[in-house]
Amino acid sequence: MLTQGDRPLQVAAAVNGVLAHDPPPLEVIVVGNGRPVDVSLFDKLVGTVDLPDNVGIPAGRNVGAAQASGDVLVFLDDDAETTAADTTGKIAQAFAEDTGLGAMSFLIRDPESGAVSSRHVPTVGGRHPERVQEVTTFLGGACAIRRAAFEACGGLPGQFFYAHEETDLAWRMLDQGWSIRYSPEVAFTHPRTEPSRHAGAVRHAARNRVWLAKRNLPILIAPVYVLVWTAITALRGPSNIGAHLGGTLEGLRQPCPPRRPMSWRTVWRMTQLKRPPII
């Protein structure tokens, strides 16, 4: 679990909820991203890592993964909670039964309304939030990843800092033959929020989409992906187009190695899963 230490009550609820699972997790590690972790918040002893500076979401999660010892890594936002005691058992069973499973994405509901936001369902348009389905990406704030897949793909891209780092990892996992499953039988709550709450969110998202394309896509479709998302941003309203274009130019100018374009077989596989890598 990654935290900047600015919402202690939510962190306490999130960690203590996980500690109450039956069976319990092998370990719980909380990474303080730029601020020390207050261990007095927790009901039991947990592992902690205090980073002196905010290194961003993907780099912070990579630090936590390096400290963990389990075969399956579960990443949670510090305000994601679950009250289901069998959550850890369900996750462990899923990975034990399917040796090709690389990652799981969980159902996320708003704690007050119970609603599921379409952007929290890793399908085009957020379709079928209650259906188990194979998908092409996952949500980094509530997911489980097989350690072997995580390490084989090099972990999360720390350069991204924020936005689309899980998609970068997901595409590399798919290209190595792993599957990704959206599993709504494992549910968490998370307050309904907008990405714009993060400073520079639109610019980061646009820059990182360019980096996604440069790192992972065949040269013939890389510009299509960037252009499609520029068009989508424009259609959503003119207020963000300036920041989007600025981030796009930043991504074009700045390198983000390494480049390992996915195979056309992976492109076809993603197309069969109804999300070709142009959207």
Task: Mark whether 147 and 245 lie in a shared domain.
Answer: no
| Three-state secondary-structure class, residue 116 | coil
**Residue spans of alpha helices (H) in the chain:** 8-19, 57-67, 87-97, 147-152, 165-175, 201-216, 222-236, 241-253, 264-272
85 located within any domain: yes
Task: Mark whether 138 and 241 lie in a shared domain.
Answer: no
Task: Mark whether 160 and 212 lie in a shared domain.
Answer: no
Q: Which residue has the tokens 């959503």?
A: 236
Task: Mark whether 175 and 123 lie in a shared domain.
Answer: yes
Q: Which of 193, 212, 236 lies at the terminal end of a domain, its last residue?
A: 193
15 located within any domain: yes
Q: Which residue has the tokens 């119970």?
A: 114
Task: Mark whether 93 and 225 lie in a shared domain.
Answer: no
Task: Mark whether 186 and 70 lie in a shared domain.
Answer: yes
Task: Mark whether 145 and 174 lie in a shared domain.
Answer: yes
What is the chain's pLDDT, residue by residue, as a tens digit (279 residues)?
A: 988 888 888 999 999 999 999 999 999 999 999 999 999 999 998 999 999 999 999 999 999 999 999 999 999 999 899 878 999 999 999 999 999 999 999 999 999 898 999 989 999 888 899 999 999 999 999 999 999 999 999 999 999 999 999 999 999 999 999 999 999 999 999 887 666 555 588 999 999 999 999 999 999 999 999 999 999 999 988 889 999 999 999 999 999 989 999 999 999 999 999 999 999
Contact 149, 119 (CB under 8 A): no
Longest dimension (CA), the chain: 53
Domain that holds residue 69: 2-193
272 located within any domain: no
267 located within any domain: no
Task: Mark whether 188 and 205 lie in a shared domain.
Answer: no
Domain with residue 110: its CATH number is: 3.90.550.10
The percent helix, strand, coil of the chain (3-state, each to 5) is 45, 15, 40
Task: Mark whether 102 and 231 lie in a shared domain.
Answer: no
Contact 95, 146 (CB under 8 A): yes
Task: Mark whether 124 and 148 lie in a shared domain.
Answer: yes
Task: Mark whether 218 and 177 lie in a shared domain.
Answer: no
